[in-house]
Structure 1
Amino acid sequence: MNTENYSQTASFIWSVADLLRGHFKQSQYGRVILPFTLLRRLECVLAPNKQKVLEAAQQHQNKPDTTREVLLLKASGHQFFNASPLSLATLSDTQTAEDLISYVQSFSQSAREIFEHFNFEEFVLKLAEADLLYQVTQQFGTKIDLSTDSISNYGMGLIFEELIRKFAESSNETAGEHFTPRDCVHAATSLLMTGQEEVLSPNSIITIYDPTAGTGGFLSEAEEYVQSISDQVTVRLFGQELNPESYAICMADMMIKGQQVENIKLGNTLSSDQLGHERFKYMLSNPPFGVDWKGSQRVVNDEHNNKGFDGRFGPGLPRVSDGSLLFLLHLVSKMRDPREGGSRIGIVLNGSPLFTGSAGSGESEIRRYLLQNDLVEAIVALPTDMFFNTGISTYIWILSNDKKPERKGKLQLIDGSEAFAKMRKSLGSKRKYLTEENINELVRLYGTMEETQNSKVFPNEAFGYRRITIERPLRLNFQASEARIARLDDEKTLQKLNTEVLDQLKLAIQHIDADTLFTNRDDFIKALNAQLKASGIKFTAAQLKAVLNALSERDSDADICTDKKGNVEADTSLRDYENVPLTENIDDYFTREVKPHVPDAWIDESKRDEQDGEVGLVGFEIPFNRHFYVFEPPRPLEEIDADLKLCTDKIKQMIEELSA
């Protein structure tokens, strides 16, 4: 069955929602349709061995529950069973609710939990009250075939994702928070697994983890990829998901695949890592784009401050408005020791983690940690309009703590922004998709590490810089003019004086020649102090500073101001910053790039990096687009002039026609 058939099946299933119109809110449609779809899928999967399970249930009915469950699981041939003789098609039309609840309660424990996450019984009773339950069960039980012969696990994943998208649209929710488009999943998985044939040898056991598992798309795709290389590899899937409905679908998918459902956890990964002591060979994730982490802020801050690098967030914390890099750090903390084979990570992020945050910020410190520890292998730019809920630019990061020799100390950037095909019909914001050929080309560029127009390789240091502070001397002139004396009223420090004292101050200053422009601060202070002393006025240092501030103006021709020790004072209004590449000497850069333009400038050597103690804060950013920018020269002036003349002539003609 192709993708179109899956979409048609999803559309038919969703059409059952027409029965709910007028009785349920649109936002509730999915909470009815999704669990019924799951129930029908489980029913169809169990159908071939249903009679064996019923016979085993009769035979072992008096045995302890634990023993009985093991025997029924064996009879079903799956990780779950249902011991009821009922089915959706055979439910009574007179006591449908009782029969359906009994039917669901006859599943094995792990399967029952799935329906608990949907609050299934509550909606069953609501359907019964609306006299709709029997109609809905008949629609699913007699008209929808979800057997594995008709629909593969991959296809079922597509159907669930299409249903969730429709559910999200009807309730104004964000579908993209629940799953990642399968073409993106396939691309990320293919890149992650490239060159792993030796690891995926027969009889080996590998682990795959997704901390934002959604409906399990990444886990399913990764398992299929591994099995396509060698069906003798044992794959163990792990994940955690925040949304209960998505978690339930993921659990069902894992059960059908024969995976251990206890390895899939429900909860917030950032604030409650339920697989804390586990380490994994492969990790894949698409954390939500630009979503804040306020709800986890206290726990994350505590872990960062108290555990440091013994916890997950030692390198730093990003701004609270975007938690993408926290998920990346979480994955890095799950890497196995390189001596045990190391780990590989594939994560889909938006553009923000590449460059947001200046030197010393949490984001920059995280990039610094990743690059200085040589963890990032490649970053691949995807086309825009690839996701259901946003059209922004996205990137696949591939990380490894066991790089091959040719990749050590290097980072490969691949521009795949033009590698796409247009969809015949948009799905939300998704207007483009990656074809198999597109994905194969990205994988080829990555695998060969080829330098082309769309693939470039850089040393890690190329993305680092030192942010140095450039100071320039403070130069002020002073004058006791009427306009400047009037500024005294605006000085907050002087506003605390009573009116009489302030008037005495103004009068004393007026004795200084108003026409004299002092270009040396010390000379003016002497003249000012003389008048204050003659008037018997005494001021604090802060008040004197306020007077000087009101009577001064910046003057590039004035003498340089110095402090009591003779040190040159810096003019904070002229302070500037320069980002010096780590590959360059700071003094050489300063002499070449700064001195010719501002000869009196100097580097503030008190601003030093906390980690290495050297002058300047170390920062890291990855200006992806800059490396692939292609300059397009402007059109010739003659051509522009000709276009302007043509427009002008048309306007003249229109005016003449109006005035005729």
Structure 2
Amino acid sequence: MNQQALSSLIWSVADLLRGDFKQADYGKIILPFTVLRRLDCVLEPTKQAVLDEFAARDGKGVNVEPFLLRRAGQTFYNIAKLDMKRLIGDQDNIAPNLYAYVQAFSPEVRDIFERFEFAAQVDRLAKAGLLYQVTEKFARVDLHPDKVDNHQMGLIFEELIRKFAELSNETAGEHFTPREVISLMVNLLFVEDDNVLTKPGVVRSIYDPTAGTGGMLSVAGEYLIEHNDQARLVMHGQELNPESYAICKADMLIKGQDVTNITFGNTLSDDRHADSKFDYMLSNPPFGVEWKKVEKEVRREAEQQGYNGRFGPGLPRVSDGSLLFLMHLISKMRAAKDGGSRFGIVLNGSPLFTGGAGSGESEIRRYVLENDLVEAIIALPTDMFYNTGISTYVWVLTNRKPAHRKGKVQLIDASSFWQKMRKSLGSKRKEMGQADIETVTRLFGDFAEAQVATVLDAAGKEVDRVVVRAGEQPPAAPGDGKVKLAPLSRIFLNEAFGYRTITVERPLRDENAKVVLGERGKAKGKPQADSGLRDTENVPIGEEVEAYFAREVLPHAPDAWIDHEKTKMGYEIPFNRHFYVFEPPRALDEIDIDLRKVTDRILGMIKELSA
């Protein structure tokens, strides 16, 4: 059974709930039952062996857990004689039996169902007279890993969450990230480490502070196993949403991960991995979400710990906490002498340029650029996420840049690399194909500058698109067509994004237009500044301030001067400006010809009507 057919079958349970439950509550029932059935199927082959082991060792004063785990062949077990198929054999006692069955799981699984508030949902179903029917429906769905692998199961969870989020008007994008975006990020994360990751027995750690349902961790694990089945990726994560956390933990459990590494809570105010460092990290924090709820804890850490904590470089405005997650990930990097780290994070456009010199956002950008941590920033197509159509960017940061990347940042504009989806999913109308992902990965891996050549026929229709690397010749234009070139990958020095904001003062004048001079202290005898005429100028780091001032300001305001005490350092990354291509307007004679054609056609239609 394919993933879509399976999720449709599970979704049909909603038909049973209609009328007795609000649509917004469907997920609270269907998701935990899906997880329960999956765990039930996974344990089925070793069920009897676990029961025999428990019977032989129970009451003998030994810790039976290690023996039960070994018999189960998993990182969890269940010691009840019941399973879901046996549950539906006793309709009159379905509720107490279901409670008993869930309580017989190992502690980590019980925690999953507590996060789902499963007992409350069972009680509601029982009162509505629907518990047996719902249980029976799920008992007939085969979710054994031999029939539905972990990748498929992840897709099923994602589709169900998206549907429930749409029904309850929640933001589905807060719970998971599109698979092709994760694939691109994982490729970028690992592409420079292929030599290391293909060694037999290699063990690496990965962390996601906004884990959602665990999609990023799962895809990273799949990538590594695909390239080296003897490698092991130890997964860590933290998630704030209880249901997403429960699904992520269940997924990690089935994959044999140590689920104590998957923690619950707010990463910013309650870091459950406070003393940990990781080889790789991935994150898709919520876009443009305010952090007022955790402001007290975050500001306390910033003030008391400074650079010894997570938020030393500065704090962004309360309306957008994206850069807090960026700094959080930086704090989790292994020291370069210990092998260093690399991470990818999805951000919206505002962290690139929001905030002037001296602001929290600018100081954070200054920190990452002056410490040479930014490896690349990749612009994604719009309409890629389920809950927003805005522009998004993948930042790749590392403290172990290879020699040829040191002191430089690569910008890649992949916003045109997409294909239209057959069916929109919320705000998601576009997806990146495998070829698009491979193209971007190669440009990043090769650290290559490139342009994209769009080949147009005589009618202006696109007939081909070719990536042209530096030094290569663009394709020839066909017939009366043309080739349009646009930058695709560009490489800059870190300091190219820095500037100094200078304050330009003009003299204060009295009613007779005479310059007012200071009368005491340091200002005595000097022209006083007119605050109404005060202005600022941004001077690139690579340019002398005085030379810029003489060229750009003095010709227009000969009496102006710079107040050097107010000069501030700032950093911004004006991504779109670096990829803007000016297209001159059409020639007037071409426009006149088109207008004459349209006019003649209208006149012809009028004559036909009057004939």
| Shared fold (TM-score, shorter chain, > 0.5) | yes
Pair 1:145-2:142 in alignment: yes
1:177 paired with 2:132, answer: no
Match of 1:636 in 2: 587
Residue identity matched to 2:65: E
Q: Quote how far apart the aligned CAs of 1:61 are.
A: 2.8
Q: Secondary structure at the match of 1:566?
A: coil
1:361 matched to 2:320: no
Matches within 5 A, 1:618-657: 618-641=569-592
**1:597 match:** 556
Deviation, structure 1 residue 299: 0.5
CA displacement at 1:59 relative to structure 2? 2.0
Q: Does 2:536 match 1:577? A: yes
Q: 1:87–1:141: 8 Å Cα contact kept in structure 2?
A: no
Listed one character per residue, the Cα deviations across residues 205-263 of structure 1 (whole Å, up to 9, x for unaligned) are 21100000111111111112122222222321111100111111111111111111111
Any idea what the Cα deviations from partners look like across 1:150-182, whole Å, max 9, x if unmatched? 111111111101000011011111111111111
1:595 Cα offset (Å): 1.5
8 A Cα contact 1:289 1:349, kept in partner: yes
- Unpaired runs of 5+ in structure 1? 478-518, 520-557, 608-615
Distance 1:659 1:223 in 2: 74
Q: Aligned letter for 1:135?
A: Q
Confirm or deny that 1:69 pairs with 2:65. yes
Q: CA contact under 8 A between 1:213 and 1:241: conserved in structure 2?
A: yes
CA distance in 1, matches of 2:599, 2:529: 54
State the partner residue of 1:233.
231
Of 236, 245, 248, the residue aligned with 2:246 is 248
1:149 positional shift: 1.0
Output one character per residue of 1:619-656: Cα deviation in whole Å (capped at 9) or x when no partner: 00001111111111112223445566777899999999
* Residue range with higher mean Cα deviation, 567-576 or 290-299: 567-576
Alpha-carbon distance in structure 2 between the residues aligned to 1:474 and 1:403:
52
C-alpha contact (below 8 Å) 1:89/1:137 kept by paired residues: no
Out of 311-320 and 561-570, give the one that drifted further. 561-570
Q: Give the secondary structure class of the aligned counterpart of 2:14.
A: helix
Residue by residue over 1:458-501, the C-alpha shift from the partner in whole angstroms, topping out at 9 and shown as x without a partner, is 00000000000111222343xxxxxxxxxxxxxxxxxxxxxxxx
**Unaligned stretches of 5+ residues in structure 2:** 452-487
Q: Secondary structure at the match of 1:348?
A: strand
Q: Deviations over 1:105-161 (max 9, x none)?
A: 11111111110111101111111111111111111001x111111111111111101
Per-residue CA deviations over 1:31-65 (Å, capped at 9, x if unaligned) read 0000000001101111111121122222223234x
Counterpart code for 1:225: Y
Q: TM-score, normalised by structure 1?
A: 0.83
2:516 corresponding residue in structure 1: 561
Amino acid at match of 2:530: D
CA distance in 2, matches of 1:69, 1:341: 36
The match for 1:421 is 419
* SS of match in other structure, 1:41: helix
Give how far 1:7 is off: 2.5
Taking the TM superposition and a 5 Å limit, the aligned residue runs for 1:369-384 are 369-384=367-382
Q: Find 1:51's aligned residue among 25, 48, 51.
A: 48
Instruction: Give how far 1:199 is off.
Output: 2.8
Deviation per residue, 1:13-45 (Å, 9 max, x gap): 112111001111111100000000000110111
Q: For the Cα contact (< 8 Å) 1:204–1:233, is it kept in 2?
A: yes
The alpha carbon displacement at 1:271 in A equals 0.3
Amino acid at match of 1:572: S
Contact 1:292 1:320 in 2 (8 A): yes
Give the one of 462, 472, 493 matched to 2:496: 462
Residue 470 of structure 1 aligns with an amino acid whose one-letter code is V
> How far off its partner does 1:659 sit?
13
Return the letter of the residue paired with 1:337: A
Give the deviation of 1:270 after TM superposition: 0.2
Instruction: Report the counterpart of residue 483 of structure 2 in structure 1.
Output: none
CA distance in 2, matches of 1:334, 1:196: 19
1:517-532 pair list within 5 angstroms = 519=512
1:78 aligns with 2:74: yes
Aligned equivalents of 1:273, 1:304: Cα separation in 2? 14
Question: Which of 1 and 2 has greater Rg?
Answer: 1
Q: Once superposed, what is the RMSD of the aligned Cα atoms?
A: 2.0
What is the letter of the counterpart of residue 585 of structure 1? E
The residue aligned with 2:479 is none
Aligned residue pairs, count: 568
Secondary structure of the structure 1 residue equivalent to 2:344: strand
Distance 2:441 2:59 in 1: 57
User: What amino acid is aligned across from residue 180 of structure 2 in structure 1?
Assistant: D
1:431 corresponds to which of 414, 429, 439: 429
Give the Å deviation of 1:399.
Answer: 0.6
Question: For 1:89, which of 67, 85, 88 is the aligned residue?
Answer: 85
Per the alignment, do residues 567 and 652 of structure 1 end up closer, same or farther by CA in structure 2, a change over 3 Å counting?
farther
TM-aligned CA deviation for residue 439 of structure 1: 0.7
Distance in 1, matches of 2:298 and 2:573, equals 25
Q: Secondary structure at the match of 1:272?
A: coil
Whole-Å separation in 2 of the counterparts to 1:314 and 1:271: 15
The match for 2:385 is 387
Q: Which residue of 1 aligns with 2:20?
A: 23
Q: Which of 32, 35, 39 lines up with 1:42 in the alignment?
A: 39
**Which residue number corresponds to residue 345 of structure 1?**
343
Question: TM-score scaled by structure 2?
Answer: 0.90
Deviates more, 1:225-234 or 1:292-301: 225-234
1:32 aligns with 2:38: no
Where 1:474 maps in the other structure, the secondary structure is coil
Q: 2:320 aligns with which of 306, 319, 322?
A: 322
Q: Deviations over 1:582-636 (max 9, x none)?
A: 01111111111212222221111221xxxxxxxx211000011111111111122
Contact 1:471–1:604 under 8 Å retained in 2: yes
How far apart are residue 657 of structure 1 and its match?
12
Task: Give the conservation status (yes or no) of the 8 Å contact 1:472–1:574.
Answer: yes
Match for residue 265 of structure 1? 263
Distance of aligned partners of 1:463 and 1:98 in 2 relative to their CA distance in 1, 3 Å threshold: same
In 2, Cα distance between equivalents of 1:571 and 1:634 = 43
Corresponding letter in the other structure for 1:589? Y
SS at match of 2:194: coil
Letter in 2 for 1:624: F
Q: Is the 8 A contact 1:419 1:438 kept in 2?
A: yes
1:543-602 deviations in whole A, cap 9, x for unaligned?
xxxxxxxxxxxxxxx332223222212222222111111011111111112122222211
| Equivalent-residue separation in structure 1 for 2:495 and 2:26 (angstroms) | 53
Q: Distance in 2 between matches of 1:90 and 1:629?
A: 65
- CA distance in structure 2 between the partners assigned to 1:313 and 1:23 by the alignment: 48
State the secondary structure of the residue aligned to 2:226: helix
- The 8 Å contact of residues 580 and 586 in structure 1, kept in 2 or not, is answered as yes
Distance 2:560 2:606 in 1: 58
Match of 2:296 in 1: 298
